[in-house]
Amino acid sequence: MLNFTFSNKTRIHFGEQQIKQVTQEIPLDARVLITYGGGSIKKNGVYDQVIAALTGHTVFEFSGIEPNPSYETSMKAVALVKQENIDYILAVGGGSVIDASKFIAAAAHFNGEPWDILIKGAAVESAIKLGAVLTLPATGSESNGGSVITKLATKDKLPFMSAHVLPLFAVLDPSVMDSLPARQLSNGVVDAFIHTTEQYLTYDVDAKIQDRFAEGILLTLIEEGPKLFSAEKTNAVNANVMWSATQALNGLIGSGVPHDWATHMIGHELTASFGLDHAQTLAIVLPRLMWEMRESKEGKLLQYAERVWGITEGDVETRIKQVIEKTEQFFHSVQMKTRLSDYDLDATSIDVVIEQLERHGMTQLGERQLVTLERSRNILMNSL
């Protein structure tokens, strides 16, 4: 196992009717900005519950945060934060609203041009306090210090990490999933699954707890994910999927193990240039990345094949082919497509992605920096 320091201070309130916990989480004298997206929270009752919980608080609102949140929109909120002396942000939404709120919280305290946090990796030294009411289980953003922001002007979709933007608390009420369209349920399951593989399908460092825990998350998503699209969708199913997504990216399974993230970096370029949903890009890239990188990932691919899918027969190549096929079938079982051509993208789109990867310095990705531009191109060509 590699050395690590682990801390996760987000207090989680999990279960039905937990939105009311917001009342005691946010100090009464705080000046609170509620941030949200395109309005789903007004249709499903979440907004009303949040407002009820904040009766007695001083509350402002900022809406219109888009999926794949932009720097441009976020900076409008930064202006409001400064104008109204906001000292607590409550993000109510999915990963996009929470990510944007993290950037807003950091940018409001930043001396200089906040885009430097993303493009130059400028250090975040402090941020406004942040809490979250999660409405879409997928990213783990409700309980991690990561955020991904897009500059529309240049199609740069870039991540930053800071412990200062870790939400202080998060409410996870699985019943909010009842209003999610099928497309977002698919996105959630696949994103959580691939967060797990990014931290598991690398090379063995004898980290037994992390491996078994990652396999537990994968098995839970394989068992519960397809039920979301059938009459078997119950609140218990929602709860198990929601908790899987948080656990997949709250730092625990990633402690003391190598990380990959090449699928994510290639995927971010597909979203920035062609507008595919985040998880849609991952489901295209991962199966072919598993194949392209099969030699350096061999040990973990065989472990994944055996422990998650029960594949033990045949030579190494046969088993790897089988496990990739199983993984892709699983994505299909949660109504997720796995080819570029499913989104009308052809080889010309691959040139665009490769150019953008180069411009962003993403030329040696993966746990061993072996995913060169040539390999990224192979992965995408095989994904057509």
Among 38, 216, 256, 258, binds ligand NZQ (CB under 6 A): 38
Strand ranges (E), 9-84: 11-14, 31-35, 58-62
Residue 185 to residue 203: CA distance in whole angstroms:
30
CB of 130 to Zn ion, least distance (A): 20
Number of C-beta neighbours around residue 210 at 10 A: 21
CB 17 within 8 A of CB 50: no
Among 49, 67, 186, 338, the residue binding ligand NZQ under the rule CB under 6 A is 67
Number of Cβ within a 10 Å radius of residue 351: 11
263 binds, among ligand NZQ, Zn ion, none (CB under 5 to 8 A by kind): none
Give which of 220, 134, 228, 142 is closest to 178, Cα–Cα. Answer: 228
Applying CB under 5 A, the span of 33-41, 116-124, 191-199, 235-243 interacting with Zn ion comes to 191-199
Cβ-based nearer residue to ligand NZQ, 179 or 303: 179
128/188 with CB nearer Zn ion:
188
Minimum distance from CB of 263 to ligand NZQ (Å)?
A: 10
Q: Is 10 helix (H, G, I), strand (E, B) or coil?
A: coil
Residue 146 interaction partner, one of Zn ion, ligand NZQ, none, beta carbon < 5-8 Å per kind: ligand NZQ
Position of minimal CB gap to ligand NZQ: 37
Q: How many residues bind to Zn ion according to rule CB under 5 A?
A: 1
- What are the C-alpha distances in Å from 113 to residues 61, 72, 110, 230? 24, 13, 8, 48
Instruction: Tell me which of 35, 73, 143, 187 binds ligand NZQ, using CB under 6 A.
Output: 187
Q: What residue 95 binds from Zn ion, ligand NZQ, none (CB within 5 to 8 A, per partner kind)?
A: ligand NZQ
The Cα 279–Cα 149 span in angstroms is 16
Among 35, 68, 197, 210, binds ligand NZQ (CB under 6 A): 68
CB of 139 to ligand NZQ, least distance (A): 4
The residue within the footprint of ligand NZQ, chosen from 25, 37, 89, 190 (CB under 6 A), is 37
Contact between 141 and ligand NZQ by CB under 6 A: the answer reads: yes
Question: Counting contacts by CB under 6 A, is residue 247 touching ligand NZQ?
Answer: no
Among positions 140, 225, 226, 254, the unique one binding ligand NZQ when judged by CB under 6 A: 140
Binding flag, residue 250, ligand NZQ (CB under 6 A): no
Residue 141 interacting entry, from ligand NZQ, Zn ion, none, C-beta within 5 to 8 Å by type: ligand NZQ
CA 263 to chain centroid: 12
Pick 37 or 226: Cβ nearer ligand NZQ: 37
Compute CA distances 5 → 160, 169, 180, 242, 254, whole Å: 19, 21, 36, 25, 11
Q: Is 349 in the site for ligand NZQ (CB under 6 A)?
A: no
Q: Which of residues 191-230 bind ligand NZQ (CB under 6 A)?
A: 191
Give the integer Cα–Cα distance in Å for 56 and 118. Answer: 36
d(CA 94, CA 214) in angstroms, rounded, equals 23
Residue 310 and residue 328 in contact, taking contact as beta carbons nearer than 8 Å: no
- Counting beta carbons within 10 angstroms of the beta carbon of residue 366, is it exposed (0 to 12), middle (13 to 18) or buried (19 or more)? buried
Q: How far apart are CA 115 and CA 119, in angstroms?
A: 6
Q: Is 191 in the site for Zn ion (CB under 5 A)?
A: yes
Name the segment binding Zn ion (CB under 5 A); options: 9-17, 189-197, 200-208, 321-329: 189-197
Instruction: Kindly tell me which residue out of 175, 184, 246, 376 binds ligand NZQ, with binding defined by CB under 6 A.
Output: 184
256 touching ligand NZQ, by CB under 6 A: no
Q: Is 367 in the site for Zn ion (CB under 5 A)?
A: no
Sign of the dihedral through C-alpha 230, 276, 201, 216: negative
Q: Which H or E run includes 93?
A: strand 88-93
CB 73 within 8 A of CB 64: yes
Using CA atoms, how far apart are residues 112 and 108, in angstroms rounded to an integer? Answer: 10
Residues binding Zn ion (CB under 5 A) = 191
Residues binding ligand NZQ (CB under 6 A) = 37-41, 44, 67-68, 93-97, 99, 135-136, 138-141, 144, 146-148, 176, 179-180, 184, 187, 191, 249, 264, 278
